[in-house]
Amino acid sequence: MSKFIHKLNRWIHKGTVLVLILAAAVMSFSVFVQIVSRNIFSYSFEKFEELPRFLLIWVTFLGAAYVFGEDGHLGVEFFVNLLPAKIKKYATAVELAFDVLFMILMIVIGGQVSSLTMVQKSLQLGVPVGLVYMIIPISGAIMLLIVVERVIDSFQSRRTHE
C-alpha cells in the first residue's frame, strides 16, 4: 500500500507542477495581452478579463498543495522541532490529526461550495463558477494523500526501529 501511495503522490506531484506551469504561463500571457491591447491599441478583450483571476485561484491552491508536498510551509513543525523527543512524538501526532481535519474540511466544504456554484455562470467567460472553486477540494485531496503517505512512512519507520 505504501508503494502505491508513494507512486500515486509522485505522479500527482508531477501533474501538479505541469498544471501550475501551464496555468501561470496562460495567466501571465493573458495579463500581458490585456495590458498591451489596452495601452497601445485602446482595446480590451473583455471576454478574457476573468481568466487571470480564475487561474490565480487555481495557482494559489495548487501551489499550496505543491509546497505542502515539499515540506515548504513554515508552520507548526518549526515549534514541534523545538520540543524534547518524548513530547515531539505526541505533538507530531496532534499536528497530523489537525492536518487531516483541515484537509477533510477543504474537501467537504470546498466540494459543497463548488457544487452550489456550478449552476452560476461567470459573467464574461460563461463558465460555471463551480469549476473555479473545484480546486479547493482537489488541493485538499492532494494534501490529504501527502499526509496519508507521511503517516504510513512514520509507522513503517517506527516498526523498523523497534
d(CA 75, CA 39): 42
pLDDT score at 96: 85
| Structure confidence by residue, pLDDT tens digits, 61-70 | 999 999 999 8
Q: How far apart are CA 116 and CA 129, in angstroms?
A: 9
* Averaged confidence pLDDT in the chain: 89
- Provide the domain limits for residue 85: 2-161
* Percent of the chain with pLDDT strictly greater than 90: 61
Q: What's the total number of domains in the chain?
A: 1
Contacts (Cβ under 8 Å, ≥6 apart) of 158: none
> Cell match 463551480: residue?
130
pLDDT band, very low/low/confident/very high, at 32 (cuts 50, 70, 90) = very high
| 126-146: average pLDDT | 96
Read off the pTM: 0.86
pLDDT digits over 5-15, tens only? 999 999 999 99
Q: Report the percentage of the chain scoring pLDDT > 70.
A: 93
pLDDT at 71: 79
Does the pLDDT of residue 149 top 60, yes or no?
Answer: yes
For residue 103, is pLDDT > 70?
A: yes
Summarised one tens digit per residue, pLDDT across range 46-96 is 878 899 999 999 999 999 999 999 877 666 667 777 888 888 888 878 888
Average confidence (pLDDT) over 111-117: 97
